[in-house]
Structure 1
Amino acid sequence: MLTHVLAADFDAFRWLILPGAIFAARVVDVTLGTIRVIFISRGMKYLAPILAFCEIMIWLLAIGQIMTNLKNPACYVAYAGGFALGNFVGICIVEKLSLGMALIRIITQHDAQPLVDRLQADHYGVTSLDGRGVRGPVKVIFTIVPRREVSRVVEIIRSFNPNAFYTVGDVNSVASGQFPPRRFWHDAPFLRAFRPFRKGK
């Protein structure tokens, strides 16, 4: 008897379906927002507004449900939870997409010529300079690579010198240079269609 009473009093739409929909909408719109910010920083000025339009439409749907259900605490929890998870999902997607270019700076006290030769053999453009650090003369190497190639270049650096100091920074645009050939799924026709939308290409 008590079970039937509790089942009758429990409103599935109010406590499960509606909060679940708000949570899902918030995950999607924050994910789109995170990707949009990265697109803006990469100079993709045509793709960013499309994501912005979708993002704000979904946000309006979510906030509209919040405003009409102000007395439902489950909606607040779902809204906040969706915001948190959306940031995480957006960052993960951006990492997988590996958009844009990256500048890798390498500083080493070892003879850098083998590393330079290896990078050039793999079609990476390399600039090397003489410098001086705290412990004496060093070699400073610069290379600009597609972000998807960063992990591969780091592996080459570590195989050359596990203790080499290196940094990785963003590059907003590149006018020209030598870059490795595209590999695997990056040659897909639907991805090539986005190239005109990138600044400096």
Structure 2
Amino acid sequence: MWNNFVEMLTITPISELLLIFIAKIIEVSIGTMRIILISKGYRKIGTSLAIIEIFLWVFVASSVINGISESPMKGVSYSFGFAAGVYVGSLIEQKLAFGKVMIQTITSKALSNDIASLLRASGFGVTTLQAMGKDDEKTMLMIYANRRDAGKAVHIIKSVHEAAVIVSNEISNVSGGYINPMKKLLK
């Protein structure tokens, strides 16, 4: 029995199992990116990725399905590749940071002009609204930005007012307003 188990684990060369694993990571990463991009309105890129994704899927899945009864390790490699692909795809999307965000900041009235000026000088559109906090008057700043630039905006805000309230929300539809035209990407 032990010999049968060892044979089952070693019947397929490690290089073939590694190829299945890596190809599945690439395929699922592309699929994860495709779904995220399409949901954020990047249909052209998403459609292009779908062609690559399905091409990889057909060849990897057929290789595994055709040989799974002789080598169950192909299924194990395929499964681990799928899980790793989901993780890798989400990391790639996080680094590329597609989409738009609305950053809302509540700050003191005294510091709001300094923050707004620095943000505008850095290319961000800023709308200011007068507000009332618990104890005194405040100013709310609304900044519409590309998601990849959100960290820069938050850094600017915190450099002037470390204790400012900052809320960031992803948005899907925007009409009008200002965003740096050089920062629009392939939509």
Q: TM-score range with shorter-chain normalisation? A: 0.7 to 0.9
How far apart, in 1, do the equivalents of 2:74 and 2:126 lie? 54
1:97-138 CA-partner distances (Å, limit 9, x unpaired)? 232322111122453221112112223111111234455543
Find the counterpart in structure 1 of residue 113 from structure 2: 113
Segments of 5+ residues of structure 2 without an aligned counterpart are 1-6
Residues 103 and 76 of structure 1, relative CA distance in 2, 3 Å threshold: same
Change (3 A) 1:135 1:59: farther
How many Å separate the matches in 2 of 1:81 and 1:90?
Answer: 14
Bigger shift: 131-140 or 149-158? 131-140
What CA deviation, in whole Å up to 9, does each residue of 1:22-60 have, x standing for no partner? 111110111101111121122111221121121122112
Aligned residue for 1:98?
97
Q: CA RMSD in A?
A: 2.6
Distance 1:135 1:19, change over 3 A: farther
1:14 is paired with a residue of what secondary structure? coil
* Deviation of the 1:153 alpha carbon: 0.8
Q: 1:31 aligned to 9, 29, 32, which one?
A: 29
CA deviation profile, 1:116-167 (whole Å, cap 9, x unmatched) = 1211222311111123445554322111112222121111011112222212
Q: Which residue number in structure 1 is paired with residue 4 of structure 2?
A: none
What are structure 1's unaligned runs of at least 5 residues? 1-8, 187-191
Secondary structure (helix, strand or coil) at the match of 1:177 reads: coil
Give me the whole-angstrom Cα distance separating, in 2, the residues matched to 1:11 and 1:23.
Answer: 15
In 2, the alpha carbon distance for the partners of 1:138 and 1:73 equals: 64
Which whole-Å CA distance do the structure 2 matches of 1:19 and 1:62 have between them? 11
Tell me the TM-score normalized by structure 2.
0.81
Say whether residues 1:57 and 2:71 are aligned partners. Answer: no
The 8 Å contact of residues 15 and 74 in structure 1, kept in 2 or not, is answered as: no
Per the normalisation by structure 1, the TM-score is: 0.76
Number of aligned residue pairs? 179
**What is the aligned-residue identity percentage?**
27
Check conservation: 2:8, 2:73, Cα contact below 8 A.
no
**How far apart in 2 are the matches of 1:23 and 1:102?**
35
